[in-house]
Structure 1
Amino acid sequence: MAGERVLLVGGGGREHAIGERLVSHGAVLGVAASNLNPGLLSLTKDSGGEFFKANPTSPQEVLEVAKKFKAELVVIGPEEPQFRGVTDALRAAGFTVFGASSKASEIEKSKVFARSIMKKYNIPGNLDFWFFESWEEAIEFLERAGNVAIKPARQAGGKGVKVISDVQAYLSEEKKKVKEEHAKRILTEVMAKYTDIKEKLLIEEKVDGVEYTVQAFTDGERVVPLPAVQDNPHLFVYDVGPETGGMGSVQGPGKLLPFITEEEYKVAVEILERVVEAIAKETGEKYVGAISAQMMLTTKGPVLIEFYSRLGDPEAVNVMNVVEGNVLEAMFEAAQGNLKTELGVREAASAVKCIAPMGYPERRDLTKGREVLVPECEGAKVYYASVDVKDGKLVSGGSRAVEVYAEGKSISEAAEKANACASKVKFVNWKSVWRPDIGGEWYIRRRSEVAELMRSVWGLR
């Protein structure tokens, strides 16, 4: 596969990690992104490829880039290009594409579609759910709802999710107001810019437990799972604050996490296998590309929180570094509908720390255009994410700017190395926000305790 011309769509930390891995297998890398990611720019130069400034969600622009680059394989990194028909346009023009079609990517785009298809095909791990198209429909239900998770019905980059416990009778009126206010915010702010989906609000039964994600490659029939990773969506230490696109992730050592068993891993793999089969039946199209199951180990056992129609970010940074085997070959085979390559995993543990400007994720107007200073780090690697180069300076794009990766014999050792580097990433005249607790000894111990509690209750059911 050496010398194959591969066009990578997207310009974030996930794409930097994917691009690095593809180049390691000998790919000549092209990149189509709206931001000038210095990590990806360097990879294109080193491999003899080319960086194209283009809107990654525009089918027409990406198609023009693919033609100009003479791509032999196109890899779609983020979800939005899939939702907006980029994959469809490329395939229609004869390109070989690793990425879900617009129909298949509904599994992430529409949380209602995902829950409904699990219910229809009796796929394990589903939750009770209710969906609404308007505030008027939702208000009556919210007045009598108990413990619930309130979400945008569409994938919105991790924004708008709120989990509410309503167990104290003396606070029931206050909790009802919180539910109603948050639901209105989702409808008027988060979902206002999306016109490509009918359902606006999703309400699910609330569950507690330990989250984990299993990602996979598929050609629409065979599913090749990757090692389990745990992402951490909360902004601040000790899992508090608003939910984000992910503030850091841990993996290993090896295929499992210290607090997740082989059986729990296999449940996630089964869900992925069955949903890939169900999508083909439901849409008439094979699911081709990466697919991920974000899971939670609860008192009901492992349940599905949501699907991704791509690799996670930052979870991709972990797996692209520890997976054994030829990732380029696996992607090319999957895109051709003939996935045969086996992918293993090194017996290493890893940790990723995401660094964002203070104000993320709620005040992106304050987080854009901040100059970023990234140090040289020993024992860790830096992946560039939501950044751009302007007037010779590295500036933030409003989201997580840098993702720091490190390995160790244990997650705690890897996290310590990542922390040493993350602490040196600075924004000029602005504060940063990141999670030094992710992967630490308290973190592992706490999740192990919660997981054991969930299993003990689940075993009594």
Structure 2
Amino acid sequence: MKLLVIGSGGREHAIAYHLLKSPMVESVFCAPGNPGMKADGISCVNISEYAFEDLITFAKKEQIDWTFVGPEGPLFEGIVDQFTQAGQIAFGPNQAAAQIEGSKLFAKELMQKYGIPTASYASFTDQSAALSYLDQQSVPIVVKVDGPAAGKGVTVALTKEEAEKAIKSAFEKDSSQQRLVIEECLIGPEFSIFSMVYKGKVCHSLPARDHKRLLDGNLGPNTGGMGAFAPVGDISEDLYQETLRTIVEPVLVAMEKEGTPFNGVLYTGLMNTAEGPKVIEFNARFGDPETQVVLPLLKTDFAELINDLLHGRETQVEWMEDKACLGVILAAEGYPAKPIKGIEFALTSLMDPSMKIYYAGVSSYKPLISSGGRIAMITCLADSKDQAQKKVYQYLAEQDLKQIIYRKDIGSFLLKS
């Protein structure tokens, strides 16, 4: 098979890399990809992930068997709809179903209607009404900007002043169109589950845990993610099954009933509260950086699994439940607000086959030059989380990483919020 992956980050590097490992796959193209992918034999195509017509033309010319859409932006813009209309197979939700991530309000109203456990909330289109509501609430509290926000539209406010600032900032940008969701702050350890879905057939991943705060000790601003690991030891099998039964499966049924059936990858972000698992958010695609630690644990041939889903065949998915994978993100100084670009750096070759580097914001591979906030992720697959953590940090300690930052405590503690 010849496959196309849409996107350019570490998530897409992991997707393309694991698809290419399959004996069923002849070649994997990534549009636009990044230079670091080329070292793994992935063919980068200089076409923007939003240039749908050009992507379709390329897929037809190269006789691509199917396309895997990585990032949320093209999904919100209707890439799957356009591929389908052009007779091309694309794995991902259509524009209507992608609202589960694209609109916080859509997701909250869906959960409220179908009794899916989540935080209590109120929505606003008026700044003064939002501020009046805030006055009556306790902190911490969560302020979410409705609409696509690339993972950066959420403020977990520890003080009223912080929440007020988030509300005012949102309405300053576009007061006429803005909608906000203000919700209670759930307390407990976080975890996430990926569900690969196509026309009613579903395969669930092991639970993973992302570390979103910039600094050690879970401090500093929220980011796109500074590291992750899977599976999650404090999430028992009973809790995992309860989550599938009370949250993941009901939301897929709800989407079907609402006339927006979900196909592709549903990311369910969760908090294990004192009252049981509750939804923090849904995403309409694989998470980044969780993908980079989940896919290495997949025993099943990844390309075969997606291919079987797309063609309505029976699917079975097996995971390495006796292994663990952990990864640490390297980011440019100044991330997430104003990351420095153009940092030239070097990473020594990995001698250990259990370790892998997934590249993201790089404009050049030899030499390595940064082009974005999150630059790369160093991962390790081992017999335990502690073993994987030790190997990753030993490797990082040996690197000369001027102007590059990373957390020193990925996998070391429970994330409470």
Instruction: Work out whether the TM-score is over 0.5.
Output: yes
Quickly say closer, same or farther: Cα 1:110–1:160, change in 2 above 3 A: closer
Alignment of 1:103-142 (within 5 A): 103-123=96-116, 125-142=117-134
Count of matched residue positions in the alignment of Structure 1 and Structure 2: 411
1:185 pairs with 2:169 = yes
Residue of structure 1 in register with 2:160 after alignment: 176
From 13, 29, 32, the equivalent of 1:31 is 29
From 278, 300, 313, the equivalent of 2:254 is 278
1:261 pairs with 2:258 = no
Residue of structure 1 in register with 2:49 after alignment: 56
Q: Tell me, what secondary structure is at the counterpart of 1:324?
A: coil
Q: Tell me, what secondary structure is at the counterpart of 2:342?
A: strand
Alignment of 1:142-157 (within 5 A): 142-147=134-139, 148-157=141-150
Shift of 1:330: 1.7
Contact 1:330 1:340 in 2 (8 A): no
Amino acid at match of 1:389: S
Amino acid at match of 1:288: N
CA distance in 1, matches of 2:208, 2:244: 13
Q: Which moved more, 1:338-347 or 1:68-77?
A: 338-347
Shift of 1:387: 1.5
From 338, 353, 368, the equivalent of 1:394 is 368
Contact 2:229 2:327 in 1 (8 A): yes
CA distance in 2, matches of 1:20, 1:65: 20
Residue of structure 2 in register with 1:168 after alignment: none
From 436, 440, 450, the equivalent of 2:408 is 436
Quickly say closer, same or farther: Cα 1:61–1:138, change in 2 above 3 A: farther
CA distance in 1, matches of 2:399, 2:360: 13
Q: Tell me, what secondary structure is at the counterpart of 2:44?
A: strand
CA distance in 2, matches of 1:386, 1:242: 20
Residue of structure 1 in register with 2:215 after alignment: 236
Higher helix share: 1
Identity %: 28
Q: Deviations over 1:21-42 (max 9, x none)?
A: 1111131334343453322464
Q: Deviations over 1:359-414 (max 9, x none)?
A: 100113xx222223222123321111121228x54322222100111022211110
Contact 1:355 1:422 in 2 (8 A): no
Over the aligned positions, Cα root-mean-square deviation in angstroms equals: 2.2
Q: Tell me, what secondary structure is at the counterpart of 1:362?
A: coil
CA distance in 1, matches of 2:332, 2:398: 14
Quickly say closer, same or farther: Cα 1:134–1:32, change in 2 above 3 A: farther
Shift of 1:285: 4.0
1:227 pairs with 2:199 = no
Amino acid at match of 2:386: S
From 372, 376, 382, the equivalent of 2:349 is 376
CA distance in 2, matches of 1:424, 1:246: 23
Contact 1:111 1:202 in 2 (8 A): yes
Quickly say closer, same or farther: Cα 1:335–1:205, change in 2 above 3 A: same
Report runs of 4+ in structure 1 exceeding 6 Å deviation: none
Residue of structure 1 in register with 2:194 after alignment: 215
Structure 2: gaps spanning 5 or more residues: none
Shift of 1:103: 0.8
Residue of structure 1 in register with 2:41 after alignment: 43
* TM-score normalised to structure 2 length: 0.92
Residue of structure 2 in register with 1:403 after alignment: 377
1:362 pairs with 2:337 = yes
Q: Deviations over 1:99-118 (max 9, x none)?
A: 11111111111111111111
Amino acid at match of 2:407: R
* TM-score normalised to structure 1 length: 0.84
Amino acid at match of 1:225: H
1:204 pairs with 2:183 = yes
CA distance in 1, matches of 2:70, 2:225: 16
From 225, 241, 247, the equivalent of 2:226 is 247
Shift of 1:199: 5.0
Contact 2:16 2:28 in 1 (8 A): no
CA distance in 2, matches of 1:418, 1:181: 38
Q: Deviations over 1:188-216 (max 9, x none)?
A: 35x79xx9xx5532111111110001111
1:342 pairs with 2:316 = yes
CA distance in 1, matches of 2:146, 2:265: 22
CA distance in 2, matches of 1:306, 1:37: 32
Contact 1:209 1:298 in 2 (8 A): yes
Residue of structure 2 in register with 1:412 after alignment: 386
Contact 2:34 2:359 in 1 (8 A): no
CA distance in 1, matches of 2:274, 2:393: 33
CA distance in 1, matches of 2:349, 2:261: 44
Contact 1:59 1:85 in 2 (8 A): no
Quickly say closer, same or farther: Cα 1:146–1:40, change in 2 above 3 A: farther
Q: Deviations over 1:40-70 (max 9, x none)?
A: 46423xxxxx421111123223222212322
Contact 1:19 1:29 in 2 (8 A): no
Q: Tell me, what secondary structure is at the counterpart of 1:345?
A: coil
